[in-house]
Every structure is written in C-alpha cells, then in structure tokens.
C-alpha cells in the first residue's frame, strides 16, 4: 500500500509539473483533475472546474467547445481548436482511456497548448507575405513599364500614362481598340500588350485588313477545306484565326473590313468559334482580339460602314495614341533610339548635330513616328561623316533650317523681306519636289490658286511645273 501511495504521488507530481496543460475527466465528462500548467495557460482556476461537467462549462461560456465530449461521442482521439472567453486560442487533443475490456471509457486525458502567439505569428506572416507580393507586383509593373518605355523611347507624361493603361489591360483577356493617326505606333503598342500578357508565349498574328483583297480575305482569315472554291489547295488550309489559337490576333486598320466579314468576326468574338470555308465543323477558338484604326469609327458607324455591335465588342478597352506633334518631348529620345539602332546595324558611331536636332524638334511630322524613323535613316545613310548635319536632312526639314536662319540671322532685312524670302524658298522647293503646283498645294495644304499667285508675285521660276 505504501508503494502504491508513493507511485500515485509520483504520478500526481509528474502531471502537476508537466509543461503542457493537462485536463482529465471521467467517462461522463466530469472534471477530475487539472494541472498548474493548465491554470497558467488558460487563466482558469481549478476550483472553477473541478467536479463540474464539461456540458455545464460549455453552456456557461467558460470554454467554447469540449474535446472530452467529442472523444466520448466518437470513442477515438480528437484534436480541436478551442477559444477561451479571454480570447486565447488553444490546440486541444483529447485521448480516451478504456477499461480492461475496452468497452467503456474510464477517463479522457486532454493535452492543452497555447497557440495564440503562433496564430498571431502566422497572421503576421500572412500579412507580410501579402505585402511582399504587393511590392513584387508593383516592382514587376515598374519593370515592365520601363521595358515598354525603352521600346517606345518616350519621355512624354501622356505616353507613360498610356503605357501604364496598356500594361494593366494586358493582364486581362478583354478586347482592345487602339486608335491614332497613321504611323503613331499602334502596331508596336499591340505587340507590347501581347508580350506583357499571359499569352506572350503563344502566337501574335498581324492581319492588315486594308492590305488583303476582299476576295482573299475570308479564306485567309477563316481558312478553307479542300475543294471549298476554285483554286483552293487540295490539302485545305488553316485560317489566321485558327493559327492564332491561345494567342493574340491584331486586326490592323479594322475600319477597312467589309460588313460581311465584320458579321463573321462578331460571331468569333461572341461565340469563340468559327468554321472554315466549305465546312460545317465548328472549331473552338481561344484568341484575344486587338484592333486598330486611324479612322473615326463613329463616322463609319453613322455612314453604315461599320457595325455598332462589333464596335462595342472590340472596344472593351480603348487606347488612343497621340500624334508625335502633341508629344514633341519624345522626338529626341526617338532620334537617339533610331540612331543607336542604325549604328548597331552598320557598326558606326554617328550622331546628329545640335542644329539638326533643333530642326528635327521643329518639324510637325504628319507621318508621325514612322516618318521620323525614315528621316533619321535617310539622313544617317547620306551623311558624309560621324556627325549628321542640318543640311543633310531631307527636304522638308531643310526648309525649317533655312527659315530659322532667315529669322535669326536676317541682318538688316525687314519683316516683309524675310517673309517673302521664306515664302519663296518654301513654294519653290515644294513645287520642285512634287513636280506640280497641284501636288505642292495639296502637301502644303493651301489652294493651287494661292501657289500660282505667290509664284507670280515672287517671280518663282520652276521647270516642268503645272
């Protein structure tokens, strides 16, 4: 008996001094024992619970749920999360102790650990991870914007805002309509959107709606089956839409597409499917449509040349690229970009003089970025040295240089004399370049009668002019 009592005291000492909280009930969920660790962890004193049934403790709100009751019901170990009225969160594991016959639960021994700090750490880690992901997303956005700026060679605030819009739009599969004057960079913008999107590893198919004859356009767009029409390949052919599956289709100059093809394209967008010519088999498509035009779609719709329902479908997101004359701060970075490209291509180290740059800055660029690229290439190729001078620029820019020299180095000339000299040079050069007063007037955007009157007044003699 003494040994038995000693063993019981040893067992009680072990239970009492265990680091984890211990809570022991009988097979009816009546509280028999708790240790000091349980009191420390939960803040519940033993006199509050000893002898009380777990159902009573749950109903009075001491604990929110009882693992002992669940163990008794399931007759197997159970682990739960328990929250006390103090707000502490506990990880609680209850284990049944059966009698010798393993028929009746004699005791339920519950192990309790405080995981409040662990959960708080987990929550903080989750918040930190979300914040890190937000920073990474922002850094990725900045990185992609810088890459786009490099490709667009822009310093214009307006263009940077447009690029930001394009990058945001690229992350979704919405259709996009890009508008702007010819040569402004609509094709480059479409490609940048594709390369920034989740479709970047799949095809980017460019379809020039104005460059393909109408009778060939349908077969090029939708493909055809063998023998679909006279002259069709015996093997049939995939259409460009089918080739672009999982990628992006760029429909350039969509305003020139016929109404009949617009109707078929509308079905592709709405139903995401198509048929080859000569086939009744439906082909499912997964393509993103980016369309572009330099025309006023509203005018086309008003004149019944463009379907309004198709316009709504392709115009989910609208991007307007401003002409180069409205963002002259982009001229210098573009000139540097084109010059660097030419130097790399030909292994040279040419650059433009300050006078040439000033002339390039003063021009209005009716042909936009495409015209600037051509001007830089032309001047680069004909230059006699490493420095491209102002007098080596194309005709339309040399006029600007001459005009500037007249204004700033006019000597003792009067205002009327300077104006007459400027008009003389502009009209003479225009008629010589274009070969007729009609064409010169058209390009200078004045009437032919004005050209003829000025030539007579200024005594301008040009051979073979009309």
Q: Which residue has the higher pLDDT, 127 or 178?
A: 178
Confidence of residue 143 (pLDDT cuts 50, 70, 90): low
In this predicted structure, the answer to whether residue 429 has a pLDDT above a threshold of 70 is: yes
Summarize the confidence of residues 178-188 as an average pLDDT: 92
Summarize the confidence of residues 131-139 as an average pLDDT: 65
| CB neighbours of residue 243 within 10 Å | 14
In this predicted structure, the answer to whether residue 177 has a pLDDT above a threshold of 90 is: yes
Confidence of residue 424 (pLDDT cuts 50, 70, 90): confident
pLDDT of residue 62: 84
Residues facing 113 on adjacent strands: 91
Summarize the confidence of residues 183-190 as an average pLDDT: 92
Summarize the confidence of residues 434-455 as an average pLDDT: 86
Q: Which residue has the higher pLDDT, 159 or 232?
A: 159
Average pLDDT of the chain to the nearest whole number = 84
CA 179 and chain centroid, separation: 18
- Distance from C-alpha of 20 to C-alpha of 378, rounded to nearest angstrom: 84
In this predicted structure, the answer to whether residue 149 has a pLDDT above a threshold of 70 is: no
* Contact between 330 and 347 (Cβ < 8 Å): no
| CB neighbours of residue 376 within 10 Å | 24
* Contact between 173 and 358 (Cβ < 8 Å): no
Q: What is the pLDDT of residues 277-327, one digit of tens each?
A: 888 889 999 999 999 999 999 999 999 999 999 999 999 999 999 999 899
In this predicted structure, the answer to whether residue 147 has a pLDDT above a threshold of 80 is: no
- Distance from C-alpha of 447 to C-alpha of 260, rounded to nearest angstrom: 39
- Distance from C-alpha of 319 to C-alpha of 35, rounded to nearest angstrom: 71
Entry pTM: 0.59
* Contact between 36 and 43 (Cβ < 8 Å): no
- Distance from C-alpha of 22 to C-alpha of 33, rounded to nearest angstrom: 8
- Distance from C-alpha of 332 to C-alpha of 336, rounded to nearest angstrom: 6
pLDDT of residue 427: 83
Which domains can be identified in the chain, with CATH numbers?
A: 2-114 (3.30.450.20), 169-322 (3.40.50.300), 326-457 (1.10.8.60)
Summarize the confidence of residues 425-443 as an average pLDDT: 82
pLDDT of residue 273: 92
Confidence of residue 220 (pLDDT cuts 50, 70, 90): confident
pLDDT of residue 1: 60
Summarize the confidence of residues 403-416 as an average pLDDT: 56
In this predicted structure, the answer to whether residue 105 has a pLDDT above a threshold of 80 is: yes
| CB neighbours of residue 466 within 10 Å | 11
User: Which residues, 6+ apart, have CB-to-CB distance to 185 below 8 Å?
Assistant: 152, 321, 368, 369
- Distance from C-alpha of 87 to C-alpha of 116, rounded to nearest angstrom: 9
For 230: left if phi > 0, alpha if psi spans -120 to 50, otherwise beta; the answer is: beta
pLDDT of residue 286: 94
pLDDT of residue 19: 79
Helix (H) or strand (E) holding 14: helix 2-17
pLDDT of residue 462: 72
Confidence of residue 229 (pLDDT cuts 50, 70, 90): confident
In this predicted structure, the answer to whether residue 146 has a pLDDT above a threshold of 70 is: no
User: Which residues, 6+ apart, have CB-to-CB distance to 301 below 8 Å?
Assistant: 307, 308, 311
pLDDT of residue 403: 55
Question: What percentage of the chain reaches a pLDDT higher than 70?
Answer: 87
Q: What is the pLDDT of residues 354-392, one digit of tens each?
A: 888 888 888 888 889 999 999 999 999 999 899 998 888
């Amino acid at each position: 008996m003494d040994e038995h009592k000693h063993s019981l005291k040893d067992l009680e000492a072990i239970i009492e001094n265990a680091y984890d909280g211990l809570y022991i009930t009988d097979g009816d969920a009546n509280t028999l024992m708790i240790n000091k660790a349980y009191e420390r962890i939960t803040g519940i004193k033993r006199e509050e619970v000893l002898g009380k049934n777990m159902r009573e403790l749950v109903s009075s709100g001491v604990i929110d749920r009882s693992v002992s009751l669940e163990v008794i019901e399931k007759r197997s170990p159970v682990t739960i999360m328990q929250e006390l009225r103090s707000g502490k969160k506990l990880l609680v594991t209850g284990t049944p102790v059966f009698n010798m016959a393993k028929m009746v639960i004699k005791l339920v021994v519950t192990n309790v650990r405080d995981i409040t700090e662990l959960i708080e750490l987990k929550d903080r880690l989750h918040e930190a991870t979300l914040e890190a992901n937000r920073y990474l997303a922002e850094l990725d956005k900045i990185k992609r914007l810088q890459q786009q700026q490099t490709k667009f060679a822009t310093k214009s605030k307006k263009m940077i805002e447009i690029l930001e819009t394009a990058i945001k739009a690229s992350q979704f599969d919405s259709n996009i309509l890009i508008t702007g004057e010819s040569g402004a960079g609509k094709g480059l913008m479409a490609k940048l959107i594709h390369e920034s999107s989740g479709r970047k590893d799949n095809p980017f198919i460019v379809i020039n709606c104005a460059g393909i004859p109408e009778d060939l356009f349908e077969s090029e767009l939708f493909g055809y089956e063998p023998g679909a029409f006279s002259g069709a390949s015996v093997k049939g052919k995939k259409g460009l839409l089918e080739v672009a599956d999982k990628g992006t289709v760029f429909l350039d100059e969509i305003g020139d597409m016929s109404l009949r093809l617009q109707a078929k394209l509308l079905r592709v967008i709405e139903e995401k499917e198509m048929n080859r010519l000569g086939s009744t088999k439906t082909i499912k498509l997964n393509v993103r449509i980016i369309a572009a035009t330099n025309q006023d779609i509203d005018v086309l719709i008003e004149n019944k040349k463009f379907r309004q329902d198709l316009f709504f479908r392709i115009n989910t997101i609208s991007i307007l690229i401003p002409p180069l004359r409205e963002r002259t701060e982009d001229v210098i970075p573009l000139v540097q970009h084109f010059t660097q490209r030419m130097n790399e291509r030909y292994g040279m180290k040419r650059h433009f003089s300050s006078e040439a740059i000033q002339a390039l800055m003063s021009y209005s660029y009716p042909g936009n970025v495409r015209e600037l690229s051509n001007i830089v290439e032309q001047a680069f190729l004909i230059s006699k040295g490493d420095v491209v001078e102002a007098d080596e620029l194309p005709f339309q820019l040399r006029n600007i240089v001459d005009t500037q020299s007249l204004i700033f180095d006019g000597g003792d000339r009067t205002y009327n004399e300077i104006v007459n000299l400027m008009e003389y040079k502009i009209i003479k050069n225009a008629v010589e370049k274009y070969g007729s007063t009609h064409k010169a007037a058209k390009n200078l955007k004045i009437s032919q009668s004005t050209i003829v009157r000025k030539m007579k007044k200024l005594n301008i003699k040009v051979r073979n002019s009309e």
